[in-house]
Chain A
Amino acid sequence: MKYHIKFFFVYSLIFSLPLFSALEKKSNILFGTSAFADSRAFFLGAQSPGAQKNAVSFVKLIQEEDELPELKIEEFASEKVFINADAKTRDKGKDGKGTNPVYNKAISFLSTLGSQAIVVTNEDSLGPNHKISLLQDTNTVVTTTEKLNDSAEAQGNGIRGIEGAINHIFAAVKPSGGSFGDDNSGLSLVTTDSNQLVTIDVTTGVKGGNKAIKFDKVADALMAITANCSMADVIEMQWSPRLNRLFIALRLQRADSSAVGGCVALLVARIDGTDKENPHKIILEPIATLDASHFTIDSTDHIFGFFESADSIDTFASVHKTKLLYTSTAKTYLIINSDVSTGNIKNKIFAVPVVEPTYKQVTEIEKVDGEDKEVQKTVVANKKSVGKIADKNDFLKRASGASAMTLATDTAALVGGGDVPNDADKEIDILFVSGDSVIVGLSGSTANKSGFFKSTALFDSHGNIVRWTPWQRVMGSADAILGGGFDPNPQNLISNSTNGLYMYLTNDSSGNPNTVKTTLWGKDASGPLGLGELIAAQFPVDQGGTFSFFDFDEQTPSFKTGDDNLGLMVATGYKKIMLIETGSQVIGGVFTPNSGDFATGALLSTNGNALAGVAGSKTMIISGGVLDEFGPIDTADVSRVDAATGAGSRGYLFVGGRNGVAVLSEANGDGWDTTAGVGLKRGFVGITSTMSFKQLGTFSNVQKVVCDDEYVYVLTTSALHRMSLATAANFSSAGAASPTFTTIATSSIVTGNANSTFYDILVSSKFAVLATREGLFRIGDVKNIKTVTSVTDASWTEVLIAIGSDNVSLGLVTQLDLISAAKGTFFQGGELYVLISDPAYNLASVFRFSLADTRTSTVSGASIMLVKEPNDIIYFMSLGRHRLFFRSDGILVFHQSPHHFGTADLLNLVGIRDNISINTIRGFPIDLNLEKDVHKNIGLLVRNSASGAWMVPGDFGLRING
Chain B
Amino acid sequence: MRTFRYCLFFIVGCVSGGSTIAYAPVNFNKPFDIIFRTERWLNKKGKVYPLTIGTQFEFADTTRARNINSDTVNVLERYQDTQSSIAMLYGSQPGSTIDNLLGQIANATDDGIRGNFKLNGEYEEFACTFLAQYNFGFDSIPGKFDIAAYVPFRNMKVSNVTWTDRTLAISRSDLDAREFLTNDIVGLASSLGGLDLNNWSHHGIGDITLMFRWHEDFRQFRRNIRNVRLSGRVGFLFPTAAEKDENKAFSLPLGSDGAFGMPISAAIDLWFKHSLKWGLEVEYLKLFDNTRMRRLKTDTRQTDFLLFHKGMARKRNGSTWKFNLQLGVHHFLRGLSATVNYQYLMHNDDKLRPHSNTFSDAIINSAESLKEFSFHNFVFQLNYDFFKDYKEFLIKPQLMFFYKVPVAGRRVILPDTLGFEFVLNF
Contact = CB atoms under 8 A, between A and B. Distances in A.
A and B: bona fide binding partners: yes
A532 interface: no
B89 interface: yes
Contacts of A897: 109
Q: Is the interface of B mostly helix, strand, loop or mixed?
A: loop
Contacts of A838: 106
A887 interface: no
A814 B175 CA distance: 18
Given A840-B89, A840-B102, A899-B112, A632 B172 contact: yes
Interface string B156-194: 000000000000111111111000000000000000000
Contact of A657 (B103, B104, B111, B172): B172
A107 B110 CA distance: 58
Contacts of B102: 839-840
Interface residues of A, number: 33
Contacts of A63: none
Contacts of B111: 898-900, 936-937
Given A757-B103, A759-B107, A840-B102, A631 B169 contact: yes
Interface in A836-894: 837-840, 842, 882, 884
A574 B175 CA distance: 12
Q: Is the interface of A mostly helix, strand, loop or mixed?
A: loop
A808 to B, nearest CB: 14
Interface string A822-847: 00000000000000011110100000
Interface in A899-948: 899-902, 936-937
B347 to A, nearest CB: 26
A190 B169 CA distance: 70
A48 interface: no
Contacts of B113: 936
A938 to B, nearest CB: 10
Nearest to A884: B107
A757 B170 contact: no
A840 B176 CA distance: 17
A631 B107 CA distance: 18
A658 interface: yes
Contacts, number: 78
Contacts of B107: 759, 814, 884
Contacts of B170: 543-544, 574, 631-632
Given A840-B90, A901-B87, A658 B110 contact: no
Contact of A755 (B91, B103, B173): B103
A524 interface: no
Interface string B106-150: 110111110000000000000000000000000000000000000
Contact of A899 (B84, B103, B109, B171): B109
A748 to B, nearest CB: 12
Contacts of B173: 898
B172 A901 contact: no
Contacts of A27: none
B103 A898 contact: no
A543 to B, nearest CB: 6
A507 interface: no
A840 B299 CA distance: 8
Interface in B47-105: 84, 86-87, 89-92, 95, 99-100, 102-104
Interface in A534-593: 543-544, 547, 574
B171 A937 contact: yes
A839 B91 CA distance: 9
B301 interface: yes
A658 B103 contact: no
B301 A658 contact: no
Interface in A623-647: 631-632, 634
Nearest to A815: B107
Nearest to A544: B170
A350 B402 CA distance: 90
A812 B109 CA distance: 16
Contacts of B86: 839
26 contacts: A543-B170, A574-B170, A632-B170, A632-B171, A632-B174, A632-B175, A658-B172, A753-B95, A755-B100, A755-B103, A814-B107, A839-B90, A839-B106, A840-B90, A840-B91, A840-B299, A842-B299, A842-B301, A899-B109, A899-B110, A899-B111, A900-B110, A901-B84, A901-B87, A901-B110, A936-B113
Given A632-B175, A842-B301, 20 more contacts: A543-B170, A547-B171, A547-B172, A658-B172, A717-B104, A755-B103, A837-B106, A839-B109, A840-B89, A840-B90, A840-B91, A840-B299, A842-B299, A898-B109, A898-B111, A898-B173, A899-B110, A902-B112, A936-B113, A937-B171
